[in-house]
Amino acid sequence: MPAHPDIRVAPVHAALRPALLQLAVHETQQPFVSPIAVTLADAELCGGSEAMAILCDGAPIGFYRIETQPGCIADRDFPRPTLGLRSFFIDARWQRRGLATLALTALVDDLLQRHPAAHDLALTVNTRNTAGIALYRRAGFVDTGELYHGGRSGPQHLMVRALAP
């Protein structure tokens, strides 16, 4: 891998789908991330959901969903125009290289271009997912102090970050 990999994000399209379906997280992360086949199918059924690929030098290495109806993130409304982030992950073979941080930067840059009216980005992260919590904090997310109890794996922190400085 080059010293400065080209990390970009792109909407999922048919040509990316086979490679995306090969992505997975480590076994210890599986309680926190649904299998990509399930998430892709669900995203296709949800009108306000945008399935997105994380690309490293053009190859898919991760995935996430953007929710344009943020109430589905934590069953609540937000005071400012807010998008939701779901199902963010980097494939197990690509982890521990700093790519998740680069991907979150690319993700925010993309949202600023494609969703200029949005002010914030919200997500939930399982209280036991210490690596995920640390990653999101490094990326500028702030814990609201609220816990969401609707997840399949137990309580989750609600975290929010501003999209523009």
Residue 2 confidence (pLDDT) above 60: no
Window from 30-34, 46-50, 58-62 with minimum mean pLDDT: 30-34
8 A C-beta contact, residue 3 and residue 42: no
Residue 74 confidence (pLDDT) above 90: no
Structure confidence at residue 149 (pLDDT)? 77
Structure confidence at residue 151 (pLDDT)? 66
Residue 70 confidence (pLDDT) above 80: no
Locate the domains of the chain by residue range.
7-162
Model pTM score = 0.91
Structure confidence at residue 75 (pLDDT)? 80
Nearest Cα residue to 66 out of 91, 33, 88, 41: 88
pLDDT-derived band at 29 (thresholds 50, 70, 90) equals confident
Structure confidence at residue 1 (pLDDT)? 52
Of 3.50.50.60, 3.60.10.10, 3.90.226.10, 3.40.630.30, the CATH number of 7-162 is 3.40.630.30
3-state per-residue secondary structure call for 48-67: CEEEEEEEECCEEEEEEEEE
Structure confidence at residue 32 (pLDDT)? 75
Across the chain, what does the average pLDDT equal? 89
How do strand 156-162 and strand 49-56 relate by DSSP bridges? unpaired
Structure confidence at residue 4 (pLDDT)? 75
